[in-house]
Amino acid sequence: MKQSNWTIMGKGGVGKSFCTWLLAQYFIELKRNTYFADTDPTNATFSAFPEINAKHINITDEELNIDQSSFDKLVNDIARHDAYSVIDTGSPSFLPMMNYLSQNGTFDALIEAGHQVIVHAPLVGGPAKRDTTQGIYGILESTKAQMVIWQNDYFGPVMQDGHDFTDTELYKKFADRILGVVHLPKKEETTFGRSIHNLIEKHQLLSACDAEDFPFAEKSRLDRFRQEVFGKLAVIGI
């Protein structure tokens, strides 16, 4: 299986790297042969986790223009890796990267070479809902990639009044390319939020809670969360 997974969103601070963190752990738990890369030019969060061992590749120059040689190296690495890949991209490089992908037909070339190309994009509630919705629309309009929506209610509910994402015009237009939705409901900040924050601050994975001396209450919360997210990804078929 040749599958290339890219987490992309132009709006910063909406949990994109958190989604990448979860996706990488899903692949690790399944023991998949996966190439991990972090291309965020300002916040190399993904490559900071030793157990993920993501390669940091700066695909932009100091003015955030695409560095062709660096980007070509990334694509060559993905193409040569005859299995899975997960690439975390940065919001500051969103526009130049999308332009470069479009002009060079990068995703098209990977698809023609037998890769399944999947973009993972966060969709959040609150003030950033419009920006993330527009970002998702733009990605789907400008590429032929498939997509997984990460519906994150941390900033407020994305969908209200009993509606579902599948009811939206965005979904209806691109239903043939949207593989599914990973819903991340808002959880208690003082318990679950603190547990997640502590793991990320220590550059650890959810598997850290498997240790015998890990606090039981935290382990229970994190185990349930891990099973929920990984179960949703399995249903989608990632």
Task: Domain ranges for the chain, please list them.
Answer: 3-236
User: What is the number of helices (H) and of strands (E) in the chain?
Assistant: 8, 7
Predicted confidence (pLDDT) per residue in 157-215, tens digit: 998 888 899 999 999 999 999 999 999 999 898 899 999 999 999 999 999 999 999 99
Question: Residue 52: which of 187, 207, 195, 236 has the closest Cα?
Answer: 207
Which of 109-114's residues contact partners 24+ apart within 8 Å by CB, and which partners? 109/75, 110/4, 110/75, 110/78, 110/79, 111/144, 111/145, 113/2, 113/79, 114/2
pLDDT of residue 42: 78
Question: Residue 79: which of 117, 113, 56, 53 has the closest Cα?
Answer: 113
Average pLDDT, the chain: 94
Which residue type occupies 4? Answer: S
pLDDT of residue 41: 80
pLDDT of residue 63: 81
Residues 6+ apart with CB under 8 A from 16: 7, 8, 9, 88, 89, 91, 121, 122
CA distance 88 to 179: 19
- State the 10-residue block means of pLDDT for the chain, 238 residues long: 95 94 98 96 88 93 87 94 95 92 94 96 96 97 96 92 90 97 92 92 95 92 96 96
Q: Note the pTM of the prediction, 2 decimals.
A: 0.95
Percent of the chain whose predicted confidence (pLDDT) is above 90 = 86
> What is the token pair recorded at 223?
């185990």
pLDDT of residue 1: 82
pLDDT of residue 28: 98
CA distance 128 to 82: 37
pLDDT of residue 196: 94
Please state, in angstroms and as integers, the Cα–Cα distance from residue 127 to each residue in 12, 131, 185, 238, following that order: 12, 8, 17, 30
Which residue type occupies 179? Answer: L
CATH architecture of 3-236: 3-Layer(aba) Sandwich (3.40)
